[in-house]
Structure 1
Amino acid sequence: MFQDFKLVSDRPVAIQVKEYVNRLIIKGALQADQKLPSTREMSGLLKVSRNTVIAAYEGLKDDGFTYAIPGKGSYVAAMVGQSTADNGGADGSATWQIDWKARMNEYAVSAVELDMMKQGIRAKKGTISFTSIAPDEQLFDMGDVRRAFMDRMAIEGQVLLNYGYAKGYKPLVDYLMRYMENKGVDISGKDMLITSGFTEGFDIVLSALRPSARRGAAICENPTHHTAIKNLKLQGFEITGIPMERDGIDVERLEAVLQTNSFDLAYLTPSYHNPTGIVMSSAKRSAVMKLMMRYQIPVIEDGFNEELRYSGAHIAPLIATAGQGNGVIYIGSFSKVLFPGLRVGWVLGDRALIDTLESIKRARTIHTSTIDQSILYQYLLNGNFDKYVKKARTEYKRKYELTKACCEAHLPEAQLSGDGGLHLFLTFPTGVHTRQLLEACTEQGVIFTPGDKFFIQEGEGTNTLRLGFSRVTDENIERGIQIIGKQARSFLKA
Structure 2
Amino acid sequence: MFNDFKIQDEDRPAYIQVKEYLKRLIAKGALQENQKLPSTREMSVLLAVSRNTILAAYSDLEEEGLIYALKGKGSYVAGVHRTSEESQPALQTDWSARVSGYARKAVELDRMKNGIRTPRRSTISFTSIAPDEQLFDLDHVKRAFLDRMALEGHVLLNYGYAKGYKPLIELLMRYMEQKGVELEGKDLLITSGFTEGFDIVLSALHRRHGAVLCENPTHQTAIKNLKLNGFDVTGIEMEHDGIHLGKLKEALMERAYDCAYLVPSYHNPTGIVTSPAKRIALMKLMAEYQIPVIEDGFNEELRYSSSHALPLMSIGGRGNGVVYLGSFSKVLFPGLRVGWVLADKQLIDYLESIKRARSIHTSTIDQAILFQYLHNGHLDKYLKRARFEYKKKYEWTRQCCEKYLPDARLSGDGGLHLFLEFAPGFDTHKLLASCSEQGVVFTPGDMFYTDGSGRNTMRIGFSRVSLEDIEEGLRIIGATARMQGQK
Relative to the length of structure 1, the TM-score reads 0.97
CA contact (8 A) 1:277 1:419 kept: yes
> Does residue 167 of structure 2 align to residue 171 of structure 1?
yes
CA separation in 2, counterparts of 1:482 and 1:77?
68
Report the residue type matching 2:371 in the other structure: Y
Given candidates 317, 332, 337, the residue that maps to 1:338 is 332
* Residues 1:484 and 2:480 aligned together: no
- Which residue number corresponds to residue 143 of structure 2? 147
2:316 matches 1:315 = no
Counterpart in the other structure of 2:156: 160
Q: Deviations over 1:81-114 (max 9, x none)?
A: x2313xx4x2x41x22111121111000101111
Secondary structure of 1:239's partner? strand
Equivalent residue for 1:244? 238
- Is 1:267–2:250 an aligned residue pair? no
Q: Which residue of 2 aligns with 1:108?
A: 103
Q: In structure 1, what is the Cα distance between the partners aligned to 2:27 and 2:482? A: 61
Aligned residue among 418, 422, 427 for 1:433:
427
Structure 1 residue 210: deviation in Å?
Answer: 3.7
**In structure 1, what residue type is equivalent to 2:10?**
S
Q: Give 1:364 shift.
A: 0.6
Instruction: Return the offset for 1:61.
Output: 1.5
After superposition, residues 221-370 of structure 1 pair within 5 angstroms as 221-370=215-364
Deviation at 1:57, TM superposition (A): 0.7
Q: Contact 1:210–1:235 (CA<8 Å) still a contact in 2?
A: no
The amino acid across from 1:100 in the alignment is W
d(CA) in 2 for partners of 1:312, 1:143: 29
Partner of 1:43: 44
* Unmatched runs of 5 consecutive residues or more in structure 1: none
**AA matched with 2:159:** Y
Aligned-pair identity in percent equals 67
3-state DSSP class of the match of 1:425? strand
Return 233-242 or 310-319, whichever deviates more: 310-319
Could you say which residue in structure 1 is the equivalent of 2:54? 53
Cα distance between partner residues in 2 of 1:433 and 1:253: 26
Does 2:449 match 1:448?
Answer: no
Amino acid at match of 2:98: R
8 Å CA contact 1:431–1:492 kept in 2: the answer is no
Residues 413 and 96 of structure 1: is their aligned pair in 2 closer, same or farther, counting only changes over 3 Å?
Answer: same
Mapped to 2, the partners of 1:122 and 1:63 lie a distance apart of 45
Aligned-residue RMSD, C-alpha: 0.9
Greater Cα offset, 59-68 or 391-400: 59-68
Say whether the 8 Å CA contact 1:424–1:466 is kept in structure 2.
yes
Secondary structure of the corresponding residue to residue 121 of structure 2: coil
Map 1:366-381 to 2 at 5 A: 366-381=360-375
Helix, strand or coil at the partner of 2:418 = strand
State the Cα deviation string for residues 442-493 of structure 1 (Å, max 9, x = none): 00000001100000122x0000000000000111100000110111011110
1-structure distance, mates of 2:298, 2:283: 18
Residue in 2 aligned with 1:63? Answer: 64
Q: Say yes or no: does 1:204 pair with 2:231.
A: no
- Which residue type is aligned with residue 137 of structure 1? E
Show the counterpart of 2:459. Answer: 466
Asked if 2 retains the 8 angstrom alpha-carbon contact of 1:430 and 1:463, the reply is yes
Contact kept in structure 2, 1:190 and 1:349, CA below 8 Å = yes
Provide the C-alpha distance between the structure 2 equivalents of 1:175 and 1:401, rounded to a whole number of angstroms: 33
Secondary structure (helix, strand or coil) at the match of 1:117 reads helix
Aligned partner (choices 461, 466, 475) of residue 468 of structure 2: 475
Q: Structure 1 CA distance, aligned partners of 2:482 and 2:349?
A: 55
Q: Write the letter of the residue equivalent to 2:392.
A: R
Please give the alpha-carbon distance, in whole angstroms, between the structure 2 residues aligned to 1:446 and 1:63.
54
Q: Which moved more, 1:180-189 or 1:32-41?
A: 32-41
* Deviation of 1:145 (Å): 0.3
**Contact 2:209 2:257 (8 Å CA) reproduced:** no
Q: Which residue pairs with 2:11 in the alignment?
A: 10
Partner Cα separation in structure 1 for residue 108 and residue 226 of structure 2: 14
> Aligned pair count?
485
Structure 1 CA distance for aligned equivalents of residues 412 and 35 of structure 2: 70
TM-score, length-scaled by structure 2: 0.98
1:251 CA drift (Å): 0.4
Cα offset, 1:432, TM superposition:
2.0
Residues in 1 aligned to 2:479 and 2:209: alpha-carbon distance in whole angstroms? 46
> What is the letter of the counterpart of residue 409 of structure 1?
K
Structure 1 position 215, deviation (Å): 6.1
Query: Aligned-pair distance for 1:391?
Result: 0.3
Query: Within 2, Cα distance between the matches of 1:492 and 1:210?
Result: 48
SS, match of residue 403 in structure 1: helix
1:409 match:
403
CA distance in 1 between counterparts of 2:480 and 2:70 reads 75
Code of the residue aligned with 2:114 in structure 1: it is Q
TM superposition outliers: structure 1 runs of 4+ over 3 Å = none
Q: CA deviation at 1:125?
A: 1.2
Distance 1:278 1:83 in 2: 63
| Correspondence list, 1:25-44, <5 A | 25-44=26-45
Q: Distance in 2 between matches of 1:204 and 1:409?
A: 44
Q: Is the aligned partner of 1:99 residue 2:94?
A: yes
What's the offset of the Cα at 1:25?
1.3
**2:232 alignment partner, SS class:** strand
Q: State the 1:431 CA deviation.
A: 3.8
Does 2:383 align with 1:389?
Answer: yes
Contact residue 431 and residue 491 of structure 1 kept, 8 A = no
AA of the residue aligned to 1:27: K
In the aligned structure 2, how far is the partner of 1:414 from the partner of 1:83? 67
Aligned amino acid, residue 422 of structure 2: F
The separation in 1 between residues aligned to 2:371 and 2:421, in whole angstroms, is: 40
Query: Aligned equivalents of 2:451 and 2:37: distance in 1?
Result: 65
| Structure 1 SS opposite 2:170 | helix
Residue type at the aligned position of 2:432:
L
Deviation at 1:75, TM superposition (A): 1.4
